[in-house]
Chain A
Amino acid sequence: MSSLADLIDTRKDTAITSATSGLVVKAQDFLQGTSKIIRSFSLLGKLGLAVILFFVILAVFAPYVSVHPYNLSSGAPLMPPGGEHFLGTDDLGIDIWAQLCRGAKISLIVGLGTALLAGLGGGLIGIVSGYVGGILDKFLMRLIDIMLVIPDFPVMILLAAFLGPRLINIILVLALFSWVSSARIARSQILMLKEKTYIKSAELYGAGTWYLMRKHFLPEIFPLIAVQMIRLTGRAIISEAGLSFLGLGDPTSKSWGLTIHYATSFRGIYFTEFWKWWLLYPWLFLTLMVTSLAFVSRELEQFADPRVKK
């Protein structure tokens, strides 16, 4: 009797220790995996990652990194870089560096918001479409075909113009036109996986939809969607900048695109030196961010999908 109790006891113990050690091992695996992936990046990929990290830190610590307010005048208008305002000020005397820190935050919110909505939403639509099949699949595929051929930027302008310039509206509009790619990826993966023998046998053993989803489909599809989401982040940031540049951005948001919009709308911008700080720095930040995201997603693609090689 006592031996049985002992056995149960030790079993419990080992179960607990294995659970915790399993977690530790998983965390270690994750860290090792990440560092391995990063180490195998090319120089461009590493640079891109560093730039993105820099902007994330800038966005998170925006209020601490910049002394001056981003929405209030804090000096003489159009001061050149140097001294207290080390990237200069704009025509209202607002510190450019403060605006750019704020812009990093807005860019990340727009990029990540759109990517999460479009990536997860699109992925879900793709999974359902591929798994359920039938009329629903046909309908969704036609819808995707239509979405693919419609030029998205004009529609975005139309929608943004009608919905009004609010950050949440812009994120929604961008997401509405970005889910298609993730849905297609998820669907094609599901269609392929459904025919695999191990899925078939799991089904024969009575695995339900939810079980299959959790155990087999999601782990296979998630890396692909994750890479796609990084790409979507970059595209969303570009589109937001484009809309803001056209004057359709949220006027309270102070995104990089909006700063560029104000700078280029300034009458004397072409004939003065002001562009050398007012326009150049937001331009530089935007370009660096967008290209870095593209490089990192390009590098990650090789890990998520072994078929894609250089």
Chain B
Amino acid sequence: MRQKTRTKFIEYAITIWVVITLNFLLPRLIPGDPFLILTSQDAEDEEIVLSEEQREFLFQYYGLDQPVYKQYFIYLRELVRGNMGFSVYYKQPVSQIVMHRLPWTIFMVLSAVFLSTLIGTILGCLSAWHREKWVDKSLFLFMIIFSEIPSFLLGLILLFVFAAGLGLFPLAGAVTHFADFQSGWEKIWDVIHHAFLPVTALTISHLGGTYLLGRNSMTTVLEKDYLRTAWAKGLPKKRVIFRHALKNALLPIVTRVFLSLGSLVGGAILVENVFSYPGLGTLMRESVRVQDYPVIQGIFLVVTICVLVANFFADVVYRKIDPRVSS
């Protein structure tokens, strides 16, 4: 068990190292001069040619005159210190900007994970218990249709119908700006009101997978011998369903929750842009628009490492709760 956790840890460490190295190498593999973009603001602008001394100064200043391996070590050292570079556009350290936006993204992703897992599991179990009846059939149809629509398309239609058309929800943002809240509750309500549509879009498009998994897993569990034993013993229905069936049916869902984080984050980046939610996704679009590469790289690094760390913990937790895997 210890041994396995350690190998897993090493695997994830290698993956993170690959990601960091990719992040380091990518801008250096692309042809071009980094100071050309810095000096000319627009593509149509005339390129401002730096004098030889100015160029040399800039190269020295950014450490680009060093050999690549030295640059690499400097990069790693600075990364460990939490320095991800300086934003060209926002004129702020990248880590500061990213950390400022990260909580909103985490809030959205975690709420969507929580809600889709909860609702998906309940509906999946419901379907399995009423297999081949109309409840199961209509749920199944609904789920396979909605699970295939990508979350940002779902978000777009929700935005235009419920926010722009009916005016039930705000069009953009995460809080009402310059609002004077009477109490903490009012503020929380405001945050929920803003987050409702984006989280709904993410949840619905994510629901189908959990539902299908829950339905399948519950169906297999219901056919197991130990469940027949439980019924035969004359246990009450509640006890059979919650103690015997649900506990075993939940296992595959737990792994899915964490392993699907990656795709969920991808969806969140797009959904945030639909709703102009002030998370990392909108930041990414803004920095893509102004070609602020340090910020794009910083977001990429933070998002990837968060997902990888979550996956690692999922592995550990899964082995803890399912004794069959560790033995």
Tell whether A pairs with B: yes
What is A's interface to B at a CB cutoff of 8 Å? Answer: 44, 142, 145-146, 149-155, 157-159, 161-163, 234, 238, 241-242, 245-248, 260, 264, 270-271, 275, 279-280, 283, 286-287, 290-291, 294-295, 298
The smallest C-beta distance from A166 to any residue of chain B, in angstroms, reads 14
Residues of B within 8 Å of A145, CB to CB, are 11, 15
Q: Is the CB of B300 within 8 A of A154?
A: yes
Q: Within the assembled complex, what's the spacing in Å between the Cα atoms of A288 and B163?
A: 23
Residues of A within 8 Å of B144, CB to CB, are 44, 295, 298
Q: How many contacting A-B pairs (Cβ < 8 A)?
A: 120
B307: Cβ under 8 A from any A Cβ: yes
Number of interface residues of B (CB under 8 A): 49
Q: Is the CB of A295 within 8 A of B153?
A: no
> A151-B304, A246-B285, A271-B164 known; 12 other A-B pairs, CB under 8 Å?
A152-B262, A152-B263, A159-B26, A242-B150, A242-B266, A242-B270, A246-B273, A247-B285, A264-B274, A287-B153, A294-B148, A298-B144
Q: Is the CB of A151 within 8 A of B270?
A: no
Residues of A within 8 Å of B23, CB to CB, are 158
Interface centre among A151, A157, A279, A280 (most CB of B within 10 A): A151
The smallest C-beta distance from B114 to any residue of chain A, in angstroms, reads 19
**Majority secondary structure of chain A interface residues (helix, strand, loop or mixed):** helix
**Majority secondary structure of chain B interface residues (helix, strand, loop or mixed):** helix
**Those of B284-308 within 8 Å (CB) of chain A:** 284-285, 288-289, 291, 293, 296-297, 299-300, 303-304, 307-308
For B261, the closest partner residue in chain A by CB is: A151
Task: Given the known inter-chain contacts A151-B304, A247-B285, A270-B171, please indicate yes or no for A162 contacting B274, CB distance below 8 A.
Answer: no
Q: Within the assembled complex, what's the spacing in Å between the Cα atoms of A260 and B160?
A: 13
Q: Within the assembled complex, what's the spacing in Å between the Cα atoms of A155 and B262?
A: 11
Q: Is the CB of B156 within 8 A of A151?
A: no
Choose from B26, B263, B307, B308 the contact partner of A158 (Cβ within 8 Å): B26
What is B's interface to A at a CB cutoff of 8 Å? Answer: 11-12, 14-15, 18-19, 23, 26-27, 30, 141, 144-145, 148-150, 152-153, 156-157, 160, 163-164, 171, 261-263, 265-267, 269-270, 273-274, 284-285, 288-289, 291, 293, 296-297, 299-300, 303-304, 307-308, 311
For A145, the closest partner residue in chain B by CB is: B11
Q: Is the CB of A157 within 8 A of B288?
A: yes
Interface centre among A154, A159, A242, A287 (most CB of B within 10 A): A154
Q: Is the CB of B300 within 8 A of A157?
A: yes
Q: Within the assembled complex, what's the spacing in Å between the Cα atoms of A308 and B14?
A: 34
Q: Is the CB of A283 within 8 A of B157?
A: yes
Residues of A within 8 Å of B284, CB to CB, are 154, 157, 246
Task: Given the known inter-chain contacts A154-B265, A154-B269, A246-B288, please indicate yes or no for A291 contacting B300, CB distance below 8 A.
Answer: no
For B292, the closest partner residue in chain A by CB is: A161
Residues of B within 8 Å of A163, CB to CB, are 30
Residues of B within 8 Å of A149, CB to CB, are 12, 15, 262, 307-308, 311
